Structure 1
Amino acid sequence: MTKAYDIIIAGGGHNGLVCAAYLAKAGKKVLVLEKNDIVGGAAITKEVFPGKSVSLCAQFLHQFNTRIADDLKLSEFGLEFIDTDCRTSLLSNDGRHLTVSFDGQVEGDVAEDEVKAFQILITRLQEFSETLGFLADIPPIDIFDPDMQDKLSALKLGWKLRFGLGAEKMSDFLRIVGMNIYDLINEELEDDRLKALLSVDSVLGTHAGPRSPGTILTYLYRQIGGGKGRTLVPKGGMGAVSKAIAASAQAKGADILTGMHVREVLIDNCRVVGLRTSCGTVYNAPIVVSNADPKTTVFDMVGSRHFEADFVHRINTIRMRGNSCKLHLSLNSIPEFSGLGSEALAGRVVIADSADYVENSFNPAKYNEWSSSPVIEFSIPTLNDPHLAENGHVLSATIQYAPYSLKGGWTDEAKEAFKNICIDTLSRFAPSLKDSIEQSLLLTPVDLENEIGMQGGNWHHGEFTLDQMLMMRPVPLASRYALPLDGLFLCGAGAHPGGGVMGSAGRNAANAILRGDKS
């Protein structure tokens, strides 16, 4: 059985859905094939306990591209937000908790001068992030053979740095952009809790600690998006975002099929001609767009024999070390976290009371060991979104650090031991938590790889470091979405600008296809 399309997208993650929506909007006949039963990739809402659903992987919207939301009219397709300024509470071992909003307003026992210093610092960093932000909405500048658009983009960046920021701020930007966050926060702040918060926001989802080079850049990247540093919470969990994008794409004419695993991309005379699913169905198209990571695309879907040896080597050496687990708890009641009310628990809560705590938590991961004092980001989303649970509540947490290549492997015994460490860490601040737990689910980086398809359990489809970003993401010969095989493109987090539920990689890939770009 053979079916023909203009473009086929392999993978229905949010970037693949965004790509499909833009291509269908342009009049292309588009098919999306997703191996799982629901679309969304890492941005899904799933029932994991009877009558209780959770945002399985991604939990908050930090970088959502509001331009995409407007272009695709996502509000008309059901996307609503419960909170458009989700505040972050930080739990301190000494009980001196604090709560921070996106603009630096602080509630807690913090000196007035320190609050002002904190506000000045995050305002400064947000300005730098906004200066770089336009780069997320365009292909990386081709420094080898630049066309007129590349030259204009380079001029725009230079103009924003020199005249948008001004000479003094530009000098400051160039001084700090390659630094680690640890050095900067120790220059500017005294309060360990505020330092901890910025440290966590610089390293969550990475293989890095606050002292690692480039962690200021990862912080700036996290702030990119129309929210300008705000954290958004969608009604219905993260799956609501993907459902709205899928509905928009379908309304524009795109076909979306779930439960369809792509076995191979079909090649004839050095160009793409379609793909075959694991059930044997062949779909013909002159263009195939992969929402998978670069390694899966090149080695599993296409085959390395179709590429030059140097390109294969570069793809093979992309670093993809996942370091985060997801913990979901089914609760029969709300545990009491000392000093925190329900509003704070429904928002974003972080456990890490100093930058050194975060760094020490990272150290074991260098040797493929888990942290016995993990960094935890959690929420009880059912407090604000009761439709997620028919009864009771759920607690969802991101746990760092838990390396993909754990010494001895992620056996059942290892998973149970680490889950207990995480629950014990939470229980330090909520002694009644264990009595409230009905069921629990820990998803290790290996589980995330198997469940969602993130190789190495890495959120970004490739570590987000200085040597794996912009025109070097995923590798120089594939940095503008087209791979060196006629008709093959990337649109996922492994392409520029990277991971996070942003959608920019999908939009940029669609634009590259419509322009007729080639590697």
Structure 2
Amino acid sequence: MPTDARRTPAASPDVIIVGGGHNGLTAAAYLARAGKRVLLLERDDHVGGAAISAEAFAGVDARLSRYSYLVSLLPRRIIDDLGLDIRLVRRRFSSYTPDPRDPSRGLLIDGEADAGAARAAFARVGAADDADAWDAFAADTARLAESLFPTLIEPLPTRDEARALVGDDRVWDEFIERPLGAGIDARFADDLVRGVVATDGLIGTFADLDDTSLDANRCFLYHVIGGGTGDWDVPVGGMGAVTGELARAAREAGAELRTGAEVVAIDGGTGEVRWREAGREHTARAGTVLANVAPAVLEGLAASAPDAAREPRPTRDDRPEGAQVKVNLLLTRLPRLADAEVAPEHAFAGTFHINELRTQLDAAFADAAAGTLPDPIPCEIYCHTLSDRSILGPELAESATQTLTVFGLHVPDRLVDAYGNDDLRARLERAVLASLDSVLAEPIADVIATDAAGRPCIEVKTTRDLESALNMPGGNIFHGPLSWPWSEPDAAPATPAQRWGVATRHPRVLICGSGAVRGGAVSGIGGHNAAMAVLEGE
């Protein structure tokens, strides 16, 4: 052990948490409040992981939610339990979708519209017959949300218990047992409406909507049950405000948060963790280790432990695969739309869908599966500053400046190998701007701000960029394949870790990040459930 007392834990920790993302911070706060000695180790020079705010453009006073950007799955109970000062803003406009078949018209979903106005919005894009189906579909997803969301911070229900909670065999069969695409096609007639609904099953997930693997169904479920309503809210102050509060709660409870501490090995049998910090190697041992890293990363760290010399090391084929591109933009003002009847401040206030007809989504998947960048690339856009201008400095906040976050679908990590990361990043920048231009009345380039050096304020993050910056294998934002939020009939959870969905094959190690059962997105659920498993196991 090192002798530098300033850099050595004051006492042997009860729990070591590897990784300082939002789930690790959540677990640290809960466990420290329960009286546990907690040591959290983060390799970066700051905590927060993917849920941070940063000045992305040199000399520009704007702190963007650089990676994660909206909040839906963070339970109110976690906010209240930890005394978090977090404000979330509900967006009036759910979405706007310009019609790629005729960009002079589009579908605006207004949460305050009366029945007549809502029906007229569908009629405007030739989808009047889908208005009633939309309402019925929303009622069914609301049933799923109300039934299943509360279970995410309880011990895992069984599949049969979850089905009984939903209480509607028709809804269960459509969303859980059959491919998502089949249910959407049966419900809706119009290609545009089908696409708007389908995207919730594809965000960060490379999947065919009709695949019997049901990968799209699992992604869809998590996107529509958040908060018991399915709403996605804007965090005031950006994502950094969320993790800043979690870090405060953990520190005030007594957890030790150490940054610049890169873990190099975890011994799952003894609970020993080795890390490098300030050029020196350190070791500590705890009764329990919480891994707030992707399962594939955990296996690499476990394979580096002394007692794992004979364990096979993870290979490239073991890595998960992400399937998206993230583009951050700063604009001098919102661009004019090809659709002159919808105000830009309404269109961009919710989720702005571009080139996401159902047929376009299918074509994009086929292109990417064949190793080709989709053309056009399906995109979803979110404008934080229409809901919260606190992320801008005073001068920018008083101007017409806006931020845009673009999330491009069906861009699997395998395309990095096909094109090379730098080339792919450049291609994606052009593709995303072209996708935007296809529905605007002016080039998006005309309203992109410039940084202190006169460069356009555009930041592109590929899957490989996410892997490098955030240690997410393959750039997978969920740390791996999503799981159903229940235990299957052939599983008989026998330990606290199994009951809470955080077990690993290593006796003293629990997974507490997005790779846990019911992990994914900015939720704190993985951290909460790992902490509950630790406390239950006492």
Q: CA deviation at 1:113?
A: 4.7
CA contact (8 A) 2:96 2:109 kept: yes
- SS of 2:435's equivalent? helix
* Alpha-carbon distance in structure 2 between the residues aligned to 1:17 and 1:102: 34
Q: CA deviation at 1:289?
A: 1.0
Which residue of structure 2 lines up, in the alignment, with residue 375 of structure 1? 378
| Worse-superposed segment, 497-506 or 326-335 | 326-335
Which residue of structure 2 lines up, in the alignment, with residue 433 of structure 1? 444
CA contact (8 A) 1:294 1:315 kept: no
* Alpha-carbon distance in structure 1 between the residues aligned to 2:421 and 2:318: 26
* Alpha-carbon distance in structure 2 between the residues aligned to 1:412 and 1:315: 24
* Alpha-carbon distance in structure 2 between the residues aligned to 1:181 and 1:206: 13
* Alpha-carbon distance in structure 1 between the residues aligned to 2:467 and 2:328: 17
Taking the TM superposition and a 5 Å limit, the aligned residue runs for 1:284-299 are: 284-299=285-300
Q: CA deviation at 1:138?
A: 3.4
* Alpha-carbon distance in structure 2 between the residues aligned to 1:242 and 1:212: 36
Taking the TM superposition and a 5 Å limit, the aligned residue runs for 1:172-251 are: 172-174=171-173, 176-213=175-212, 214=214, 215-251=216-252
CA 377–197 in structure 1, closer or farther in 2 if over 3 Å, else same:
same
Amino acid at match of 2:78: I
Which residue of structure 1 lines up, in the alignment, with residue 346 of structure 2? 343
Q: CA deviation at 1:316?
A: 8.3
Q: CA deviation at 1:376?
A: 0.8
Amino acid at match of 2:335: P
Query: Residues 434-491 of structure 1, C-alpha deviation per residue, up to 9 Å, x if partnerless?
Result: 112232111000000111111110011102267x98569xxx9985423333322210
Q: CA deviation at 1:128?
A: 2.7
Which residue of structure 1 lines up, in the alignment, with residue 453 of structure 2? none
Query: Residues 293-323 of structure 1, C-alpha deviation per residue, up to 9 Å, x if partnerless?
Result: 11111113553774698x9699987561111
Amino acid at match of 2:482: F
CA contact (8 A) 1:85 1:230 kept: no
Which residue of structure 2 lines up, in the alignment, with residue 393 of structure 1? 402
Which residue of structure 1 lines up, in the alignment, with residue 5 of structure 2? none
- SS of 1:501's equivalent? coil
- Over the aligned positions, Cα root-mean-square deviation in angstroms equals 3.0
CA 498–368 in structure 1, closer or farther in 2 if over 3 Å, else same:
farther
Share of identical aligned residues, percent?
27
* Alpha-carbon distance in structure 2 between the residues aligned to 1:318 and 1:23: 32
Which residue of structure 2 lines up, in the alignment, with residue 366 of structure 1? 369
- SS of 2:226's equivalent? coil
Q: CA deviation at 1:224?
A: 2.6
Query: Residues 486-508 of structure 1, C-alpha deviation per residue, up to 9 Å, x if partnerless?
Result: 32221011111121111111111
Q: CA deviation at 1:226?
A: 1.9
Q: Is 1:325 aligned to 2:325, yes or no?
A: yes
Q: Is 1:464 aligned to 2:474, yes or no?
A: no
Which residue of structure 1 lines up, in the alignment, with residue 463 of structure 2? 445
| Worse-superposed segment, 131-140 or 445-454 | 131-140
Which residue of structure 1 lines up, in the alignment, with residue 88 of structure 2? 81
CA 509–231 in structure 1, closer or farther in 2 if over 3 Å, else same:
same
Which residue of structure 2 lines up, in the alignment, with residue 126 of structure 1? 142
Which residue of structure 1 lines up, in the alignment, with residue 68 of structure 2? 58
* Alpha-carbon distance in structure 1 between the residues aligned to 2:364 and 2:231: 26
Which residue of structure 2 lines up, in the alignment, with residue 504 of structure 1? 525
| Worse-superposed segment, 418-427 or 274-283 | 274-283
CA 329–314 in structure 1, closer or farther in 2 if over 3 Å, else same:
closer
Q: CA deviation at 1:334?
A: 2.6
1:108 to 108, 114, 121: 121
| Worse-superposed segment, 175-184 or 230-239 | 175-184
CA contact (8 A) 2:93 2:346 kept: no
Q: CA deviation at 1:188?
A: 1.1
* Alpha-carbon distance in structure 1 between the residues aligned to 2:229 and 2:510: 30
Amino acid at match of 2:52: I
* Alpha-carbon distance in structure 2 between the residues aligned to 1:239 and 1:221: 22
Q: CA deviation at 1:257?
A: 2.1
Q: List alignment gaps of at least 5 residues for structure 2.
A: 3-7, 451-455
Q: CA deviation at 1:161?
A: 3.2
CA 36–411 in structure 1, closer or farther in 2 if over 3 Å, else same:
same
* Alpha-carbon distance in structure 2 between the residues aligned to 1:233 and 1:451: 24
Q: Is 1:274 aligned to 2:273, yes or no?
A: yes
Matched residue pairs, number? Answer: 491
* Alpha-carbon distance in structure 1 between the residues aligned to 2:44 and 2:357: 40
- SS of 1:12's equivalent? coil
* Alpha-carbon distance in structure 2 between the residues aligned to 1:427 and 1:380: 17
